[in-house]
Amino acid sequence: MRTTTIKLILPLLALPAASLLGQDAAIDTLALRAHTYFLSHDLLEGRATASRGERLASAYIVAQCRALGLGPVNTEFIQTVPLEEALVLETTDLVAAAPGGEIRFGYPADFIPNVGTASTLVDFGGATVFVSDSKTVAGGGLGELDVAGKVAVTLGPFRGAAADTLTARGAAGMIHLVGDEGAYQLYARSRGATRLYHREADVRSSFLPELPSVLAGPRIARALLEGRSPTALPWTVAVHVALEQRPVDAANVACVLPGADPARRDTAIVFTAHYDHLGIGTPDESGDSLYNGFSDNAAGVAMLLAIARSLAGDRSAPLDYSAVFLFLSGEERGLLGSDYYVAHPMWPLERTAAVVNLDAGAPPAPPTSWHLAGVDSTGLGAIAIGIAAEHGWDIATSSARPNSDYYPFAREGVPALFIIPGPAPYEGLTADSSKALRRRWDHYHQPDDEWAEDFPFSGLARYAGYALRIAREIDAGALGN
């Protein structure tokens, strides 16, 4: 496998830098390699939110910002994010009762409490009612179905408008059925044994549901739904959530490259990437329990630092706007760092021209297609689409949703874009070769998402170069600011 992969990437290594990037050859792949090596090292223990490993990562990021000549934002590099940590205890259980008897299900083998807050990580129960999936509920598919005081049983996770609809109609809680064992285990590993939420109750959450909810694996899915009509479930359920709680602090990191134009430098283009990951969790088949988070999101942090290096070193074409590089904590736990930042902005939101977010893994070769999330009427999406058209890249678009740290900014009316490498074959490679590269390197939320000596960084260089080109277009007035 290793030999085959090397053969696949050799043609890429022969391409000139400008061809690999498609726009800005100033992205230093050696810097990308070095930053990801440190940030995904075992010594950082997976950079779990509010952990020692995350604190080491934050110190490294501050040191790199200082080395590049970047300054603090509002006199500070660090923004403390006060959180509450709740350890889910093994006495947590779910009991389902029907006329024929009851079944007791255990945590974490059968179900896990979803992410939540002090008001939703609580016991709940009631008669069950099947409400299909998020799209159906958000689209008005409940009709006259009575969910008041009942536990809504859903297929797949519920977010946004769907959960809001159930809350408004008086549901007591939610059970999200995950029928595939592999998918359920991925959720269980990603959530871990603890839940985090803001200590300040007035910080608005973009991600955390307003209803108590659990994610249920295949055993519960079979018991609740097998042989039943979709709306009339005979079960009543009682969920008991046992917690041990303590206050903890996480940290956002921010640094700024002041703009060259005194009349415009009070406005900033903000680059965002989260630097937390999953820490130490459920071991994989090899016994590895350390989730290094190379592609998610040491790669994003490295790209931001490489963009900062490029801008700070290019005295011939400095930005007129300031550039803020914002490294956020708690993304893996429900956009905690970005929600807190938006509630307590270090740089005023009204003087934030745009946000460009990098958090979509590490493409192992230069992408030729992209998905742009957050495309709206502000014109930011149109800038990115225009740049892609210049290079013949394919583009898919979607509106903003709470799947990464750009969303809280978009929610508050700040133009914000999430750049995601698309599915098309990589530059210079066939579809089969591209799929082979993805299989070799894509280990999303797995312990083997690790740094490797032979990982090809040309894809990350293009990814970062694309973001940098978008920022330059914004600075040139393409948004009309």
Domain residue ranges of the chain, discontinuous segments joined by +: 2-83+249-475, 90-241
Q: For 246, left (φ over 0), alpha (ψ -120 to 50), or beta?
A: beta
Are 197 and 88 within 8 A, CB to CB?
Answer: no
Q: Do domains 2-83+249-475 and 90-241 have the same CATH topology?
A: no
For the chain, 481 residues long, give each residue's pLDDT as a single digit of tens: 233 232 333 333 333 333 334 444 589 999 999 999 999 999 999 999 999 999 999 999 999 999 999 999 989 999 999 999 999 999 999 999 988 899 999 999 999 999 899 999 999 999 999 998 888 888 888 888 999 999 999 987 776 678 889 999 999 999 999 989 999 998 898 888 999 999 998 999 998 888 999 999 999 999 998 755 556 688 999 999 999 999 999 999 999 999 999 999 999 999 999 999 999 987 888 889 999 999 999 999 999 999 999 999 988 899 999 999 999 999 999 999 999 999 999 999 999 999 999 999 999 999 999 999 999 888 999 999 999 999 999 999 999 999 999 999 999 999 999 999 999 999 999 999 999 999 999 999 999 999 999 999 999 999 999 999 999 999 999 887 6
Selection from 310, 276, 412 nearest residue 355 by Cα: 412
Q: How long is the chain? A: 481
Instruction: Name residues whose C-beta falls within 8 Å of residue 16's C-beta, 6 or more positions apart in sequence.
Output: none
Peptide bond before residue 297 is cis, with ω within 30 degrees of 0: yes
Specify the pTM.
Answer: 0.89
> What span, in angstroms and rounded, lies between the C-alpha atoms of 18 and 334?
37
Q: Which two tokens stand for residue 338?
A: 């970005």
The matching CATH number, chosen from 3.10.580.10, 3.10.310.30, 3.40.630.10, 3.40.50.1100, for 2-83+249-475 is 3.40.630.10
357 burial level (CB within 10 Å; 0-12, 13-18, 19+)? buried
CA angle 379, 384, 389 (to 5 degrees): 120
> What span, in angstroms and rounded, lies between the C-alpha atoms of 200 and 215?
26
Q: How many CB atoms lie within 10 A of CB 171?
A: 23
232 burial level (CB within 10 Å; 0-12, 13-18, 19+)? exposed
> What span, in angstroms and rounded, lies between the C-alpha atoms of 418 and 428?
25
Would you give the distance in Å from CA 464 to the centre of its chain?
17
Q: Does domain 90-241 have CATH number 3.50.30.30?
A: yes
Q: What is the DSSP string of 137-205?
A: HHTTTTTT---TTSEEEEES---HHHHHHHHHTT--EEEEE---HHHHHHHHHHH-SEEEEESSTTSPP
DSSP 122: S
Terminal Cα distance for the chain, rounded: 50
